[in-house]
């Protein structure tokens, strides 16, 4: 097995991190990895949770108006999905705030 080390290419590593060689974010805001950015993933997750909550609210309203096409079981499941999504979002927010606080309290 060949165990030779390759030379470190700073420019390539910075590009994979979505940064220019000066350490500043790339202009397009896209990472070179090809995936979505953290901000994009977080925004998409928040939109998904919001959509679940809106769907649950809509189904609740339809049940209250005695719509025969909407079942109470479907409504309860939708409400539980929205609640679980909200709780998960809340936990992520709490972890981000804790991480930010830990970083700000580090001694340099």
Q: What is the pLDDT of residue 108?
A: 77
Residue of 52, 49, 29 whose CA lies nearest to 39: 29
User: For the chain, what are the domain ranges?
Assistant: 36-108
| pLDDT single digits (tens) 45-94 | 899 999 999 999 999 999 999 999 999 999 999 999 999 999 999 999 99
Whole-prediction pTM? 0.60
Q: Are 14 and 23 in contact (CB under 8 A)?
A: yes
Q: What is the DSSP letter of 107?
A: -
Give the mean pLDDT of the chain: 83
Q: Of 58 and 3, which is predicted with more confidence?
A: 58
Q: Of 26 and 5, which is predicted with more confidence?
A: 26
Cα gap 41→75, rounded to integer Å: 27
Q: What percent of the chain has pLDDT over 90?
A: 56
Confidence band, pLDDT 50/70/90 cuts, at residue 41: confident
In the numeric block, which tokens belong to residue 37? 């950015």
Strand partners, 25: 19
Q: Are 39 and 31 in contact (CB under 8 A)?
A: no
């Amino acid at each position: 097995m060949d165990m030779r080390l390759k030379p470190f290419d700073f420019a390539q590593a910075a590009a994979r991190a979505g940064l220019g060689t000066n350490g500043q974010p790339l202009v397009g805001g896209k990472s070179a990895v090809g995936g979505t950015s953290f901000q994009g993933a977080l925004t998409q997750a928040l939109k998904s949770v919001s959509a679940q909550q809106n769907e649950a609210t809509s189904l609740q309203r339809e049940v209250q108006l005695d719509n025969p096409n909407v079942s109470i079981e479907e409504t309860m499941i939708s409400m539980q999905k929205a609640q679980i999504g909200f709780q998960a979002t809340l936990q992520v927010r709490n972890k981000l705030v804790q991480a930010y606080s830990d970083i700000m309290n580090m001694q340099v």
